[in-house]
Amino acid sequence: MGDKPTLNPRHNKAEVFARLRDAHAREVTEDYVEMIGDLINEEGEARSVALAERFGVTAATVNNTIKRLERDGFVTSRPYRSIFLTEKGETLAKKCRDRHQIVYNFLVSIGVDPDTAEFDAEGIEHHVSEETLRVFESAISS
């Protein structure tokens, strides 16, 4: 109290939170394109019902989200048919899958239980900057 804090920490906290809000706005998109890619790889196609089952949400929710992804150019879809990634979607999916794997591997490498790592990585991945990701990467291979 009394005087101004004048300590070292960034006085511009607002930047930090603006970036955080940005990351949040991308999370669902990132998880969806990654999952759609997984489904195409594993099962040959991505159906709404499989997305709903894997995310643990209703079919209606998946439908809304897919419409948003389509609007934003990440997927294409036709009524009652399966879902495809656009180029843009595939690019994002690959980036997210790689990042996810690095985060997961890093957590396991420092001694986190694989089961716990799977939970934590799903959230952490969206908040890891390129720089931190590279640090994680080199920590794994050392």
CB under 8 Å to 100, separation ≥6 — which residues? 34, 121, 122, 125
Q: Which is nearer to DNA, 18 or 135 (CB)?
A: 18
Residue 108's binding partner out of DNA, its own copies, Mn ion, none, with CB under 5 to 8 Å set by partner kind: none
Ranges within 46-75 binding its own copies (CB under 8 A):
53-57
Q: Does 107 bind its own copies (CB under 8 A)?
A: yes
What CA dihedral angle connects 125, 131, 137 and 141, to 10 degrees?
-160
Provide φ and ψ at 84, rounded to 5°: -120, 150
Within 10 angstroms of residue 137's Cβ, the number of other Cβ atoms is 16
Subset of residues 8 to 37 that bind Mn ion, contact rule: CB under 5 A? 31, 34
Q: What distance in Å separates the CA atoms of residue 72 and residue 53, rounded to the nearest whole number?
A: 23
Cα separation, 99 vs 34, whole angstroms: 11
Residues contacting DNA: total by CB under 7 A: 28
Polymer length in residues for the chain: 142
Q: Does 141 bind its own copies (CB under 8 A)?
A: no
With CB under 5 to 8 Å by kind, the binding choice for 100 among Mn ion, its own copies, DNA, none is Mn ion
Q: Is 42 in the site for its own copies (CB under 8 A)?
A: yes
Q: Which does 6 bind (CB under 5 to 8 A by kind): its own copies, DNA, Mn ion, none?
A: none
Q: Per rule CB under 5 A, is residue 100 in the interface with Mn ion? A: yes
Catalog residues that contact DNA under the rule CB under 7 A.
Answer: 21, 24-25, 27-29, 47-50, 55-66, 68, 77, 79-82
